[in-house]
Structure 1
Amino acid sequence: MFTDETLRRCEDIMIEVCDSFGAVLIEFNGEHDHVHLLVHYPPKVALSVLVNSLKGVSARMLRKEFGPHIRPYLWGGHFWSPSYFAASCGGAPLSIIKEYIENQKRPG
């Protein structure tokens, strides 16, 4: 579903959403069917609220801007699956995590 163009737009949208929460999108990349984000967010922000906003806003914008391309890939009418994976990287060198995200097999 994701192409380089849709991933670039998704990244821009997610940067804007993070900014609105006082968070910083440090690294972003994706493959044909998922994305990886490294986000630094304030402790006052509930992770579930941030993720719901990232998914909700990006789904609305990407469906609006790339509707004909995206429509065949929707999960029962939904852009994102209802789940997500989040892990804390406190103590891990951020350079290692950024490298992992940068090395995703991004579609052309």
Structure 2
Amino acid sequence: MSIRKGSHSIFSVRLHFVFVTHYRKKVLNAEMLNRLKEMVEQVSNKMGCHLIEFNGESDHIHILLDFHPKNSIAAVVGSLKSSTARMLKKEFPVEFKKHYWGKVSFWSNSYYVASCGGAPIEVLKKYIQNQASP
């Protein structure tokens, strides 16, 4: 596990995101997933985050990020969703128009996020409970 350093912090934050297409439409193909991976990596890097893993299926994607705590989770999600949706609509207009019309957003409004990595919760709880009190 790699530990990163900021100007006043040392951190290791791994987050797993899942974004689902609007109406769970099966829009994504292999070419779109490859392009999405590139876009997610670019946006993540701009925000000080690093893409660890990426994959998906026709109606959703999974992103594993090494997250930088200078960001809020909502800000990262907003940037990732808005920029990828905008570029996908521009670069794959035929695929988009097959499934969506008008001003329908590409991604569902909701998302999944979970922290991952590091010691299990029970180990951390015991470590904290066993601290020597002054």
TM-score > 0.5, shorter chain as reference: yes
Q: Report how many aligned residue pairs link the two structures.
A: 93
Q: Which has the higher strand share?
A: 2
Q: Which has the higher helix share?
A: 1
Q: Deviations over 1:51-76 (max 9, x none)?
A: 11000000000100001112232386
5+ residue gaps, structure 2, are: 1-26, 121-134
Structure 2 match to 1:82:
109
Shift of 1:92: 6.2
Q: What's the secondary structure of 1:38's corresponding residue?
A: strand
- Compare CA radii of gyration and give the structure with the larger one: 2
Structure 1 match to 2:20:
none
Give 1:39's match in structure 2, choosing from 65, 70, 75: 65
Partner Cα separation in structure 2 for residue 34 and residue 71 of structure 1? 18
Identity %: 45
Q: Give, as a single letter, the amino acid of the residue that structure 1 aligns with 2:64.
A: L
Which segments of structure 1 move beyond 4 Å, counting only runs of 4 or more? none
Partner Cα separation in structure 1 for residue 70 and residue 113 of structure 2? 17
Superposition TM-score, scaled by structure 2 size? 0.65
5+ residue gaps, structure 1, are: 94-108
Partner Cα separation in structure 2 for residue 92 and residue 51 of structure 1? 25
